[in-house]
Amino acid sequence: MNYQHKYSFRCLFAIAALLSSASFQAARAQTAPSLGAASSFSVLGGQAVTCTSSVITGDVGVSPTPAFANAGCTIVGSTPPATDVAAALARTAFLSAYQNIGLIPCTQTIPTAAFTGNVPALGPLAPGVYCFPAGLTFTNTTLTLDGSSNPNGIWIFKVGAALTGSGFQVLMTNGAQACNVFWSVGSAVTLSTSTLTPLFQGNILAGNATGGSVTMTGGSLVGRVLANVAVTMTNTNIHGSCALVSKANGMCDAGDNDNDSHKDHGKGNDKNKGKGNDDDEDNDQGGGRDN
């Protein structure tokens, strides 16, 4: 088995293992907002990341202020959290994605600012761009996102001000995928519950320069938490499967580059080997015409 085949097999195996452990597929549609260098981070803060009695699966980054506080927090990823060039590049990419999402036209504008209980008028929702001009509050609410029309569809929620959820959970049905959900919030995000049961799904982008913080108390999240200011988690589980798959894909891309280097290196060796040999050996080794 040549190098290219071996490396391709290794990448496919790594991605398959991640998908299996995450118990869902993170397929991407072409219309999904690009997170660029931020896609490999599960948690990214600007001024600080504070983690207490929580579990984060995936890489954590803080930039430009390298402030990280860990009080009984388990991180299955970068340890210590990235505060270097990688985090800086991720921050730039995240803020660019936040700006780009703001330019996407709305499929539906929903003026209601507060939802309590399971509101049929709000779900199940097909893929689309849903805009809430003001702040948005969910209290003991379940929001269902339905992928029956397109399992690879994209959901974008643009919230003009703060997003507040108490006992708020997001359910994905009929093939809908958490990695294809984006919450672009114009101010702070506050999600709270007394247990780990409510499951919030999607990528949170709190990109406001002054109010862009995310605070999670209890509950679980499948996706990413990206904040311009700070991220604070207490008794929370962050399942960063989306970031893990993106990171695995990046490793495979890097491997392709390595493969090119091996090819070039091999060519050089062939040329060197061809010198001083007879014509038959030159044709066989230097010509590269293997049968």
CA distances from 56 to 41, 120, 121, 244, 249 (A): 11, 33, 34, 12, 20
User: Which two structure tokens, joined as six digits, stand for 93?
Assistant: 């990419």
| Global pTM value | 0.76
For residue 159, list its beta bridge partners. 132, 185
- Residue 16's pLDDT is 43
The span from the CA of 265 to the CA of 268, in Å, is: 5
H or E stretch including 205?
strand 199-206
Contact present, 183 and 203 (Cβ < 8 Å): yes
Q: What pLDDT sits at residue 241? A: 87
Residues 115/139, Cβ–Cβ less than 8 Å = yes
Where residue 264 falls among pLDDT bands split at 50, 70, 90? very low
In the chain, domain spans:
36-242
Q: Is 214 left (phi over 0), alpha (psi -120 to 50) or beta?
A: beta
pLDDT value at position 112?
79
Query: How high is the pLDDT of residue 30?
Result: 43
Residue 203 has pLDDT above 70, yes or no: yes
With vertex at residue 187, the alpha carbon angle to CA 182 and CA 191, rounded to the nearest 5 degrees, is 65
- Asked if residue 165 has pLDDT above 80, the reply is yes
Q: What is the mean predicted confidence (pLDDT) over 269-282?
A: 45
Looking at mean pLDDT, say which of 112-126, 164-178, 262-276 comes out highest: 164-178
